[in-house]
């Protein structure tokens, strides 16, 4: 019994002292701000992504970026049974991302031009058709929310990379 308590306390101190922090969490030293977010495509996914990115619009930093997001959601049939009824689905979100640095630069033709970065993010998941339509729709909504969370984390990760390389 004492050995288990000692191991639990030791493990707790080791984990608390290791300096772990989430990879995509807001860094106190984040040196960018999202000036505007323009969205097209699937409304539900874009609303979740925008909600996640809103916290970066209130920051007051020198580097200011605008983001254009175009997401396309697809629900494809993977498998059918002998009667021709769908048994498995594949959920796919393709997101095209354009990040615009709002700091204007002068190009070779002496024109003011913003630096642009392009990314593509794809998320996939396979689901089985449920006998209960409500459960299937609910699971699809949860999957969309998870896709959006992953997409917003990847957007922030790319913004951090861009801002640190400049």
What is residue 85's predicted lDDT score, i.e. its pLDDT? 86
* pTM attached to this predicted model: 0.75
Residues 53-103 pLDDT 10s: 988 887 777 788 899 999 999 999 888 888 888 888 899 999 999 998 887
49 is a domain residue: yes
In a domain, 13, yes or no: no
List the one residue out of 29, 28, 62, 68 whose CA is nearest residue 46: 68
Task: From 53, 61, 58, 73, select the one nearest 157 (Cα to Cα).
Answer: 53
- 9-32 pLDDT, tens digit per residue, is 666 667 666 655 555 455 555 678
Answer yes or no: is 14 within a domain: no
Structural domain of 155: 28-165
Does residue 163 carry a pLDDT above 80?
yes
Q: Confirm whether 9 is domain-assigned.
A: no
Give residue 18's pLDDT.
61
Does residue 5 belong to any structural domain of this protein?
no
The domain tally of the chain equals: 1
* CATH code assigned at 60: 3.30.160.150
């Amino acid at each position: 019994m004492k050995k288990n308590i000692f191991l639990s306390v030791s493990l707790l101190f080791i984990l608390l002292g290791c300096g772990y922090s989430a990879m995509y969490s807001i860094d106190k030293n984040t040196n960018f701000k999202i000036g505007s977010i323009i969205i097209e495509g699937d409304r539900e996914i874009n609303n979740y992504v925008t909600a996640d990115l809103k916290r970066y619009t209130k920051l007051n930093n020198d580097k200011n970026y605008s983001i254009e997001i175009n997401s396309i959601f697809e629900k494809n049939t993977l498998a059918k049974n002998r009667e021709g009824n769908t048994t498995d689905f594949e959920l796919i979100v393709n997101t095209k991302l354009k990040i615009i640095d709002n700091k204007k630069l002068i190009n070779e033709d002496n024109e003011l031009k913003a630096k642009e970065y392009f990314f593509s993010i794809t998320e996939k998941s396979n689901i089985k058709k449920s006998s209960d339509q409500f459960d299937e729709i609910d699971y699809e909504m949860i999957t969309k929310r998870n896709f959006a969370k992953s997409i917003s984390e990847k957007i922030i990760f790319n913004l951090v990379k861009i801002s640190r390389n400049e």
